A and B are shown apart, each in its own frame.
Chain A
């Protein structure tokens, strides 16, 4: 169990590092998009590559941060009923559903994304827009995002199991019945 918990801590560290780093890409996306808009209006210049960079960046942010949001328990839940249950019940539900909902979903998506990415990578697929970017990095992000989500799912399973069996103090601030993610002070 100790080894598993160490593994979980390692995964959490990776997820956190990735999640925090990609958030800066958002700032880049904001500035690039504003810059594009100004340049387009002021100088009548427009570059498809720079326009595509915007959503490459945003895509990277939300795909790669999905695991971080899971770690931080920020994915919206409907807690009308669950907020009335005991914490133990909620923990068990979480553990079971991590295994039967999240793992198959993230695993299947990663499995499906692989050949899809690989084909694009090998063929050197390029955006059809004039001066557009190479497409495979955007597809790679989908693949990596689901792989990281899958990893994080394993980490969550380990932690939930350890919490239920009393081997671990719950690291997660239990937000059931409290503020929704958008409102939580960071």
Chain B
């Protein structure tokens, strides 16, 4: 009986902590408290059941695990990108973007809707935060779209869905966190997400196009009087052609002396775009116009943020910068842009910093809470339990993927992204890897899946944000002086439905055509010496070191501590010199990212090479298993030796006995 309870304790723990979350207390502290509560239960049970092995000294690994979160270089990208997005939003550059693109597409049927989708993708690329983009776009475009007679569910659905594009379009925070939790490089994740993201944006636009054909009255063009920038698309086209010509000139004639092809590309692009921008600026100052006002405005408004986005993403894709550096450069660039537009003041910087600080604090505390939860959950063999469950599924790889898709979708309906990423992903990743599924591909399926669940009634987050800013009672439109009816919640639900269908189709497309993601392997810049250099200080490198997802510090430290000392009492003292110990693997790890121990996978995840011993792998993290009855030490040590080749000799802390 006791054994039965002990064996199923992970189920009890997982479901009861999920229920505790529903109490509405901050997630970070609920997870931590749940972890600690079950730690006590686990320790008590381990005295009477051989199924569970938890001991008090294990608690002492917590500070070191938090320290592990601190020096994680990948997570450092979170505040950088958030800060960049908030600065762009607060300096009203996002608003200008939506206005101008709306004017550009305005004369086309459904033009405003296209503008919302495109800006959603671009904003996503700057903020990566669903809430910010739904609210920013909703506040600006919802009244305009309703004023010009768009069908109301269509308005709601388009805004809510476009807001979620922030999840999947690089440099989304979701992809950063996903990469961190899966132990893959953020650059690979971005490259892999690129085509699926573009396809989703394209599919949204196609839907709007179809609507504007079938039901033209649902998505009318802007009336003449609303086209404030006038016509002049021709000169915009001319400017575009000129820029392209300049780019080729730069690439093949002017800058051929530049050594590296990446820098040549960047310089040529900067040259072309810079010239166009200069022309537009000059045009705005002089009397006699060279180009139309529309072209001028579009160039002036679009170029700076676009240049920033391409600078950041481009340098990351080309392997010139790590995502963290890209984020820092992007944030600095956003500050400079806002300064250049004369919209930067002390208040904006201060508010943006505070907002970023609060976001960082709550995200990182959830991660800390999830680590506390994770220590116990792994200690009571929760990972083994999940693996048994998921590996027993019928249907092989696809069965697994489909079940996981459904589980994550359901969880996503009531959990926020960070909780899922920090709790579920570390549990699912080893199983996916055991199935021979490429983890980048897996991460992108999960990301699209989460994006979908944020759209799904009744609890989709995007819908909540939209609801919070959509007029709930009849309102007076200032321009037309007409009273407009309120937006009904059912209209929002109705409007997102087609987008949910699109999302599901996209998930299936990505599942059945892994090539959409897998091309990252061909163009991965990970072998670039730049990456090697930057990882020397070694933050986050340890995430690359093995399948001990979500528990890197444990895997790194105690795994090695255990391998060295081989006995639990050593844990009585947090091993000294761990700072060194953890970083040691990194001297080897940066070399590995290109391969990451994953066999190249073509379709559907066949795996030509044997995986490292799968069931044992997750146990690396739990040294107390060693030397205990029924648990041959070899089992824990073997994967450590497999996957962290550099570790045993480099990272052994000298056993310090209290």
Contacts and interface: CB of A to CB of B under 8 A. Distances in A.
Interface of A: 19-20, 22-24, 26-27, 29-34, 36-38, 40-41, 46, 48, 51-52, 54-55, 58-59, 61-63, 65-66, 68-70, 72, 74-83, 85, 90, 93-94, 97, 100-102, 104-105, 108-109, 112-113, 115-117, 119-120, 123, 125-129, 132, 135, 138-139, 141-142, 176, 178-183, 186
Contact of A105 (B33, B536, B537, B538): B33
B27 A76 contact: yes
A55 B73 CA distance: 7
Contacts of A31: 328, 332
Given A20-B354, A78-B416, A180-B461, A30 B328 contact: yes
Interface in B309-367: 320-321, 324-325, 327-329, 331-332, 349-351, 353-366
A129 B71 CA distance: 13
A185 to B, nearest CB: 9
A101 B33 contact: yes
Nearest to B533: A46
SS class, residues of chain A in contact with chain B: helix
Most buried by A among B75, B132, B332, B349: B332
Contacts of B530: 40-41
Contact of B320 (A41, A81, A135, A178): A41
Give 10 closest A-B pairs by Cβ, nearest first.
A82-B24, A128-B580, A33-B328, A75-B26, A183-B131, A101-B33, A59-B70, A37-B325, A23-B357, A62-B364
B63 A77 contact: no
B580 to A, nearest CB: 3
B543 to A, nearest CB: 14
B508 interface: no
Contact of A186 (B355, B360, B415, B464): B355
B261 to A, nearest CB: 15
Contact of A61 (B30, B67, B361, B536): B361
Nearest to A90: B24
Contacts of B468: 178-179, 183
B358 A119 contact: no
Nearest to A50: B537
Interface of B: 21-30, 32-33, 36, 59-60, 62-64, 66-67, 70-73, 75-76, 79-80, 83, 129-132, 134-135, 320-321, 324-325, 327-329, 331-332, 349-351, 353-366, 372, 414-416, 418-419, 459, 461, 464-465, 468, 530, 533-534, 536-539, 573-574, 576-577, 579-580, 583-584
A11 to B, nearest CB: 17
A101 B64 contact: no
Contacts of B366: 76
Contacts of B26: 70, 75-77
Contact of A78 (B354, B357, B415): B415
A78 B24 contact: yes
A127 B60 CA distance: 21
Contact of B129 (A65, A105, A182): A182
B24 A112 contact: no
Contact of B360 (A48, A62, A102): A62
Nearest to A64: B361
Contacts, number: 255
Nearest to B364: A62
Contact of B372 (A105, A128, A129): A105
Contacts of A61: 79, 357, 360-361
Contact of B66 (A69, A93, A120, A142): A142
B164 to A, nearest CB: 14
Contacts of B129: 182
A55 B24 contact: no
29 contacts: A33-B80, A33-B325, A34-B328, A37-B329, A51-B534, A52-B537, A55-B73, A58-B76, A63-B364, A69-B361, A69-B365, A74-B362, A76-B27, A76-B366, A78-B27, A78-B414, A82-B24, A102-B33, A109-B63, A119-B573, A127-B580, A128-B579, A129-B537, A129-B538, A142-B63, A142-B66, A182-B129, A182-B359, A183-B135
A74 B30 contact: no
Nearest to B23: A93
Given A37-B325, A176-B24, A74 B33 contact: no
Contact of A112 (B62, B465, B533): B62
Given A30-B332, A33-B80, A24 B416 contact: no
A80 B328 CA distance: 36
Given A76-B26, A105-B29, A129-B537, 5 more contacts: A77-B26, A117-B63, A129-B538, A142-B66, A180-B416
Contact of B361 (A52, A74, A141): A74
B465 A26 contact: no
Given A62-B360, A128-B584, A135 B131 contact: no
A27 B60 contact: no
A61 B75 CA distance: 13
A179 B135 contact: yes
Contact of A58 (B79, B332, B349, B573): B79
A34 B331 contact: yes
B351 A186 contact: yes
Nearest to B320: A41
Contacts of A94: 25
Contact of B536 (A22, A48, A80, A182): A48
Given A59-B71, A62-B364, A123-B576, A77 B27 contact: yes
A93 B25 contact: yes
A65 B272 CA distance: 44
B517 to A, nearest CB: 27
Contacts of A27: 349, 353
A78 B64 contact: no
A81 B22 contact: yes
